[in-house]
DNA sequence: CGATGCTTTGAATCTCGTCAAGATGTGTGG
DNA sequence: CCACACATCTTGACGAGATTCAAAGCATCG
């Protein structure tokens, strides 16, 4: 009995306040645990490759990764960053439209799509969770479209920072430790590394941020960041 | 018996090769017809307003509309254009994150969300259709994110034209009759009307397009358009 | 320590946005 | 049917913002 439950108690993704597992009964969790395979990867490794067959989904348990899409022309767009509790791969397309690349050591549960869907048919709660994950992803992509279509470089950065505050575990206004580099931020916001750097410098000059080291950011004027980031 | 079936035979959206109704049996179609309400609107009217309660979904039967999102700062981003057979509103959020504004005379079926979902529980085929619509929308939004993040103005225009070729009824390379104005195109592509105009002029100068009148576009060099639009 | 990779800064360039004017087109009323 | 007003679209001049190319600063890690 304790055998299928074991992974439940170990991974952050399986017991945290995570959209997929929220409010699930013990039995559902056991079924999920039984079908999930824990994968452990390190920096730069791919959880899945763009255009590879997509019969599985991922639930990030620890670490950080980015969902990226690379065109044949070699341009890269980061569709999103994912953190513990995040769920990726929710669609029925036969192939992944993106790759998922680790930013640091990552552990993730890989779940066969068909099995998950079959279980969802039997668990109304799980089905609800899947729905709300889909809705959340859709809302986030709409935000990103608005951001890319309408906002300036420094505004995009502020939006990005608020998003990190909201989603990156451990991030506080007084100290955001970024797991990704400037190039990744640039490819997420539709900018270049130089523009990211310059925009950060501008926000620093204006007293809105400070940058103790390049990988860490301190928000000194939260109201200003919010105002610049606003897309509502 | 013919009474609930009547709207099925009338509206384009209810019998065309439309994702929602594809391969549905007679009985499912009858149930759908019974719960759908046909709404008829004219130019500039809204099928739904941004932030209004979202207990219903829409299936466009005729005409064209745009899905738009306006920020409190007054900036507008068009999330997409919709045409007969298109389905909008597929989410469980309590309020619409966008408004749907008609570009010309539109008729659309309005379907209560809960009723549709309940029917989907009983019809595997309908459920599949809903899933594939969701997937299609997600794929399209990913494309748009890539477009806005990575492509130049004239490339965005080419992408837009290919999209219209693909989706706008009656559009052929030799003649695309656009139902939307320059401002709408601009807000869709994250540009200004002037830039849209200039980019079209540029493509015309290069012999790729011709513009008999402002609302019509002729693609003279399809290969060039494809190459410029490419995001794969 | 030097080597490597990432980040920042600088200068030149380019794309796109802004502002303003002119052109085109549409609908209305005389 | 023409003339006028109003919308939209196009074009031009200019400026701001972002990219590009290049070099210099800073880390980390052998």
Instruction: List, for residues A129-151, the tens digit of each pLDDT value.
Output: 999 999 999 999 999 999 999 99
| A22 exposure class (CB count in 10 Å sphere: 0-12, 13-18, 19+) | middle
State the burial class of residue A114 (Cβ atoms within 10 Å of its Cβ: 0-12, 13-18, 19+): exposed
Query: Which runs of consecutive H residues, i.e. helices, occur in A42-192?
Result: 113-122, 124-150, 153-167, 182-189
Q: How far is CA A204 from the centre of its chain?
A: 26
| The nucleotide closest to A194 (CA, C1' atoms) | C8
Residues A41-45 have a mean pLDDT of: 96
Q: Is there contact between B200 and strand D, defined as CB under 7 Å from any strand atom?
A: yes
Structure tokens, B32? 């759908």
- Above pLDDT 90, what percent of chain A? 88
In Å, how far are A34, B16, B22, B26, B119 from B123, measured between CA atoms?
29, 19, 12, 12, 6
- Strand C nucleotides in reach of protein CB atoms, 7 A cut-off: 6-11, 15-20, 25-26
* B window 166-185, beta carbon within 8 A of A: none
Q: Which two tokens stand for residue B220?
A: 């003279």
Q: Six-digit token pair at B222? A: 């399809």
B210 beta carbon < 7 A from strand D? no
Strand D proximity: list residues 195-214 of A with CB under 7 Å.
195, 198-199, 213
- Strand C contacted by B73 CB (< 7 A): no
> Taking CB atoms and an 8 Å limit, are A150 and B77 in contact across chains?
yes
**Distance between CA atoms of B66 and B43, rounded to whole angstroms?**
11
The rounded distance, in Å, linking the Cα atoms of A53 and A110 is 14
End-to-end, the C-alpha distance of chain A in Å comes to: 49
Range from A13-17, A164-168, A172-176, A213-217 carrying the lowest mean pLDDT: A13-17
Give the chain B residue nearest A51 (alpha carbons).
Answer: B232
* Interface A-B: count of C-beta contacts within 8 A: 92
Q: Answer whether B69's CB lies under 8 Å from A142's CB.
A: yes
Give yes or no for A22 touching B (CB within 8 A).
no
CA distance linking residue B69 with residue B193, whole number of Å: 18
Q: Beta strands A65-70 and B46-48: pairing type?
A: unpaired
User: Beta partners for A120?
Assistant: none
| Chain B CB within 8 Å of residue A96 CB | no
Instruction: Report the distance separating Cα B210 and Cα B219, nearest Å.
Output: 7
Judge whether residue A15 has pLDDT over 90.
no
Q: DSSP letter for A221, please.
A: -
Q: Biggest alpha carbon distance in chain A? A: 59
E strand or H helix at B126 = helix B124-150
Is a pLDDT exceeding 50 seen at residue A124?
Answer: yes
Shortest alpha-carbon distance between residue B149 and chain A (Å): 4
What does the pLDDT average to over A185-209? 98
> Above 80 in pLDDT, residue A125?
yes
Closest partner CB to A135 (pick from B79, B93, B146): B93
- Residues of chain B where predicted confidence (pLDDT) is lower than 50: 1-11
Round to whole Å and give the CA distance between B158 and B14. 31
Provide the 3-class DSSP secondary structure of residue B172: strand
Name beta bridge partners: B107.
B40, B62
Q: B85, B18 in Cβ contact below 8 A?
A: yes
Cβ contact, residue pair B77, A132, below 8 Å? no
CA angle A163–B136–B39, rounded 5-degree value? 100
CA of A148 to C1' of C11 (A): 27
pLDDT at B18: 86
Q: Is A187 on the interface with B (CB under 8 A)?
A: yes
User: Predicted confidence band at A8 (pLDDT cuts at 50, 70, 90)?
Assistant: very low
CA pair distance A227, A72, nearest whole angstrom? 37
Nearest residue in A to B78, CA atom: A146
For residue A151, CA distances in Å to A66, A79, B177 come to 22, 17, 30
Closest nucleotide over all strands to A192 (CA to C1'): D19
Name the helix (H) or strand (E) containing B178: none
At B111, which helix (H) or strand (E)? Answer: strand B106-112
Which pLDDT band holds residue A7 (cuts at 50, 70, 90)? very low
For chain A, the average pLDDT equals 93
Buried b / exposed e along B50-88 (16+ C-beta atoms within 10 A): beeebebbbbbbbbbbbbbbeeeeeebbbbbbbbbbbbb
Q: What share of chain B is helix, strand, coil (3-state, %, to 5)?
A: 45, 25, 35
Amino acid A75: pLDDT: 97
Cα–Cα distances in angstroms (integers) from residue A76 to residues A225, B189, B216, B231, in the given order: 27, 19, 33, 10
pLDDT reading at A13 higher than 80: no
| pTM for the full predicted model | 0.94
Per CA to C1' distance, which residue is closest to C17? Answer: B192
Nucleotide nearest to B195 (CA to C1'): C16
Q: How confident is the model at residue A18 (pLDDT cuts 50, 70, 90)?
A: confident
């Amino acid at each position: 009995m304790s055998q299928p439950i074991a992974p439940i108690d170990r991974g952050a993704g399986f017991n945290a306040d995570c959209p997929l597992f929220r409010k699930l009964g013990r039995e559902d969790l056991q079924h999920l645990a039984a079908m999930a395979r824990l994968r452990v990867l390190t920096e730069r490794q791919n959880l899945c490759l763009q255009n590879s067959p997509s019969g599985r989904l991922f639930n990030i348990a620890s670490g950080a990764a980015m969902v990226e899409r690379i065109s044949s022309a070699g341009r890269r767009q980061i569709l999103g960053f994912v953190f513990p509790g995040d769920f990726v791969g929710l669609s029925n397309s036969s192939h992944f439209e993106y790759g998922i690349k680790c930013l640091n050591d990552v552990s993730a549960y890989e779940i066969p799509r068909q099995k998950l869907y079959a279980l969802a048919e039997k668990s109304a709660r799980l089905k609800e969770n899947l729905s709300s994950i889909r809705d959340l992803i859709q809302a986030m992509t709409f935000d990103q479209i608005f951001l890319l279509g309408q906002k300036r470089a420094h505004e995009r950065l502020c939006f990005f920072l608020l998003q990190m505050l909201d989603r990156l575990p451990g991030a506080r206004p007084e100290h955001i430790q970024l797991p990704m580099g400037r190039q990744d931020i640039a490819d997420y916001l539709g900018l270049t590394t130089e523009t990211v750097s310059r925009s950060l410098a501008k926000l620093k000059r204006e007293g809105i941020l400070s940058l103790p080291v390049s990988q860490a950011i301190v928000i000194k004027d939260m109201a200003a960041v919010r105002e610049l980031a606003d897309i509502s």
